[in-house]
Amino acid sequence: MSAETPSKLQKMINAGHLAVTSEVGPPRSADGVVIEHKAKLIKDYVDAINVTDNQTSVCRLCSLAACIRIKQMGLEPVLQMVTRDRNRIAIQSDILGAASFGINNILCLTGDHQHFGDHSSCANVFDLDSIQLALTVRMMRDEGKLLGGHEFEIRPQMYIGAAANPFAGPNVGLRVSRLAKKVAAGVQFVQTQCIYNMDTFKTFMKMMVDRGLHEKVAILAGITPMKNVGMAKYMQKRVPGIDVPEDIVKRMGGVPKEKQAEEGLNLAVEQIEELKGVEGIRGFHIMAIEWEEKVPEIVERVGLYPRPQPAA
C-alpha cells in the first residue's frame, strides 16, 4: 500500500476507517442521466463509486465517460478497466485521459470472456492481463513512463485496485498466491468477489494474514444482496466463480416471496457484521446489482453511516 495518491478512498483506508464502496453499471444507451441518478442514490453512503466496464461483455456506455460525469458531480469514481477490449495503446491512453480529469482510482481487471455477452462473435484483445495492467499503471504513476518507453511529466495519480476471487478454486491457496502476485505487481486495494461461502472466505483471509499480505493490500469484502430465491439459484448455477452454499438458497426460499427481498438485505447486513470481525478486512464493496437504492439502508443498518470525512 506504499505509494500515496490524492485518492479519497486511499485516504479513508489509510486513516483506519472501514471503507465503503459501491458500483454503478452504465446504461446500454447514451443516457448519461442514468449514471447521475444512480450515483445520487448512493453518494452520501459510500467513499467511492466503481463504474463497471462493459460488465459480462455487454456493450454499455463507457466507464471512462461515466467516471468523468461522477467526478464532475464532486464524487469519487473508481475506473474499472478490462483488458478484453483494448490494447496497451488504448489502455494507457484512457488512463492518461482519466487522470487528466482527476480520476484517482483504477480497478485493473482482465474481464469476462466475450462469450457471455451481446457480441460473442467479436475478436478479443487481451494484449495485457489484469496483473500486467497493474504493472502498467504503476509504471506510469511511479516512473512517468509508458510501456513503449516514452517518459512524461504529468503522471496519473492512481490508487491501484484489483479484484480477487477466493472461491474460484481449485484451492484457496492458489487464490492467495494469485493475490500475492497482484500485490507484487503494485495492487494496493482489492475488492473481492461476492461472498456467500463464509468458511472459504475466512480460510482465505487467514492465509492472507499468515503471510502478512493483509498489511500490503487493503481488502474490501464484496457483498451482493440477494433480491429473491431465483437470484440465489441463478448465481449458484450460472455465474462463473460465485459460490452460493445450499443453505443460503434454502434460507432465501424459506420465506414467502414478498419477504425475500427483506431476507436478502438481512443476510447482507449479517454478512457485513460478521466480516467486521475478520482480521484484515478494511472495508466493504457493496454490489447491489440494479438495486442501488438499497445501498443506503444496508450501510445505515451496519452502522457505517454517516461516512467519516478523511483529512484533506
Partner 1 sequence: MIKAIPKPMEEIIGNVQDCRKLLIAACDGCVTVCEAGGLKEAQVLAAALRLYFTQGGKQAQVDETSLTRQCEKEYLAQLSDRIDQYDAVVSLACGCGVQYLAEMYDKKIVYPGVDTCFLGVNEERGLYTERCQACGRCILAETGGICPIARCSKRMLNGPCGGSEGGKCEVNKDIPCGWELIYERLKTLGQLQRFETPTVPKDWTTSRDGGPRKIVREDLRI
Interface contacts to partner 1, rule CB under 8 A = 84, 88, 110-113, 115-116, 124, 126-132, 135-136, 147, 163-165, 168-170, 174, 177-178, 180-181, 184-185, 193, 240-241
Cβ distance to partner 1 smaller for residue 17 or 178: 178
Helix %, strand %, coil % for the chain, to 5? 45, 15, 40
Q: Would you call 51 helix, strand, or coil by DSSP?
A: strand
Minimal distance, residue 221 CB to partner 1, in Å: 15
Cβ distance to partner 1 smaller for residue 169 or 308: 169
Minimal distance, residue 244 CB to partner 1, in Å: 12
Minimal distance, residue 307 CB to partner 1, in Å: 28
Instruction: Sort 306 into a burial class: Cβ within 10 Å, 0-12 / 13-18 / 19+.
Output: exposed
How crowded is residue 169: how many other Cβ atoms within 10 Å of its Cβ?
12
Angle at 218 between CA 215 and CA 223, to 5 degrees: 140
Position 14: which residue type? N
Cβ distance to partner 1 smaller for residue 115 or 277: 115
Work out the widest C-alpha separation in the chain, in whole angstroms: 61
Minimal distance, residue 219 CB to partner 1, in Å: 15
51 contacts 67 by C-beta, under 8 angstroms: yes
Cβ distance to partner 1 smaller for residue 65 or 125: 125
- The helices-and-strands tally (H runs, E runs) of the chain is 11, 8
Minimal distance, residue 171 CB to partner 1, in Å: 9
Q: Which three cell numbers stand for residue 73?
A: 458531480
